[in-house]
Amino acid sequence: MTNSPGHRTTMQDPRTQYPQPPFKRQPQEAPGLAGAMDPKPDHGETSYRGHGRLAGRKALVTGADSGIGRAAAIAFAREGADVALSFVETEMPDAQEVAKLIEAEGRKAILLPGDITDRTFCETLVHRAVTGLGGLDVLVNNAGKQTNRKDIGDISDEQFDLTLKTNLYAMFWITKAAMPLLPAGASIINTASVVAYNPPQILVDYATTKAGIVAFSKALAKQAISKGIRVNAVAPGPFWTALQPSGGQPQDAVETFGSEVPLGRPGQPVELAPIYVFLASQEASFVTGEVYGATGGNGTA
């Protein structure tokens, strides 16, 4: 695999465009670091090319240190946006890498570490992003918690509560704080998942939250369009992110991760970046209340 810019634009077989399983077992403590993964995920660090689609925009991305959020943040900057990065303090090394990439494009990067399971921090996060960026017109609710458990009896109240607070409550708190500050033409993009439609037995709590994100996005879209604000969601299938080896999947599943989809491999975060860019841009002016799937061929229904 190469991460050169031409790698993203040259026609090639998508089945072999990126690494395929088997992968090494690589356990990490949650929330995990992209820099510790083997192979390293492609977030678009060198492979994503911008085309000015988001010139002058101001975006807040949660979970922006690695995975899908990192890919979106890099792509937004390459498209001309300034970006505020939300992440937890332990992910600072990854977040600092993203900030450097954003600044290398001549764009502003705002580092905003903190715990989004705390309502007060979520409200502060939005206001700090608006102050640092000089406004806000793109919100990406992407941060997520995923912990596999074989049986419902193994899911503690603490895990269930933390999963819902990370994936649902934080999205609600952040969006609620942002809505009065977003101008007409703004875009909200929430990260759902294919598991909202086809939940695996080991991800009961996680799948529950992702189905909730789909419903939240569709309902909010009907409200927000009265203010000229579009709301959409993205539903990825298996993607090679730090979420997976840090408890999202059992280690034996990490070895074969992505093999179950028709493409035969997991997606790389950069492969989602163009979807987030499109939904954030004026090119998606007639798109709201939609859920965009990227599942490697398995579909979302």
What's the CATH number where 138 sits?
3.40.50.720
User: Quick check: is 265 in a domain?
Assistant: yes
197 is catalytic: no
CA gap 198, 131 in Å, rounded: 40
The region, left, alpha or beta by phi > 0 then psi within -120 to 50, assigned to residue 56 is: left
- 184 burial via Cβ count (<10 Å: 0-12, 13-18, 19+): exposed
User: Quick check: is 57 in a domain?
Assistant: yes
Give the count of domains, the chain: 1
User: Quick check: is 196 in a domain?
Assistant: yes
User: Quick check: is 41 in a domain?
Assistant: no
pTM attached to this predicted model: 0.94
> 22: cis peptide before it, omega within 30°?
yes
Which of 18, 169, 197, 206 is the catalytic position? 206
Predicted pLDDT at 13: 96
What is the torsional sign of CA 278, 279, 281, 283? positive
User: Quick check: is 24 in a domain?
Assistant: no
Predicted pLDDT at 36: 87
User: Quick check: is 31 in a domain?
Assistant: no
Residue-range definition of the domain harbouring residue 229: 50-293
Phi/psi at 190 (5° precision): -110, 140
Phi/psi at 109 (5° precision): -120, 125
Predicted pLDDT at 50: 95
Cross-strand partners of 187: 138, 230
User: Quick check: is 182 in a domain?
Assistant: yes
Low-confidence ranges of the chain (pLDDT < 50): 1
Predicted pLDDT at 1: 44
Predicted pLDDT at 2: 52
- Spatial CA neighbour of 165 closest among 222, 117, 106, 198: 117
CA gap 88, 104 in Å, rounded: 23
- Spatial CA neighbour of 98 closest among 69, 132, 56: 69
